[in-house]
Amino acid sequence: KNQVEQSPQSLIILEGKNCTLQCNYTVSPFSNLRWYKQDTGRGPVSLTIMTFSENTKSNGRYTATLDADTKQSSLHITASQLSDSASYICVVSDRGSTLGRLYFGRGTQLTVWP
């Protein structure tokens, strides 16, 4: 069964600290993996998208890694800010285009305290 599991479900950290969010998937065949940030009351915003051949991609203080062999991805946030408080959603696609099926994780709720 194709699934995407994220951990932890929720996380609280202090401003300035680093954190790492995890995403494990069983989707096959794999096409790409995306990380989205969703602020409360807003739609998800894309952070990164990685294909099979990519194992690291950065977007400012956000760095995503992908291990296609173990079917694991992580999102590392460096020097966290209050504005990083949001839900982070991992999405895996099983085809090379939007014609493929998307599988969504339930998200990790990150709270950054001052």
Partner 1 sequence: DAGVIQSPRHEVTEMGQEVTLRCKPISGHDYLFWYRQTMMRGLELLIYFNNNVPIDDSGMPEDRFSAKMPNASFSTLKIQPSEPRDSAVYFCASSFRGSGGYTFGSGTRLTVV
Q: What are the residues binding partner 1 (CB under 8 A)?
A: 32, 34, 41-46, 49, 89, 91, 93, 97-99, 102, 104-107
Q: How far is the CB of 13 from partner 1 (least distance, A)?
A: 22
Angstrom distances, CA of residue 23 to CA of 16, 48, 57, 59? 23, 13, 15, 18
Give min distance, CB of 86 to partner 1, in A: 13
When the beta carbons of 41 and 114 are compared against partner 1, the nearer one is 41
Burial of 72 (0-12, 13-18, 19+ CB in 10 A): middle
Which CB sits closer to partner 1, 77 or 107?
Answer: 107
Decide whether 5 or 67 has the Cβ nearer to partner 1: 5
- Shortest Å distance, C-beta 103 to partner 1: 10
d(CA 80, CA 37): 14
HSE-up of residue 89 (Cα within 13 Å, Cβ side)? 17
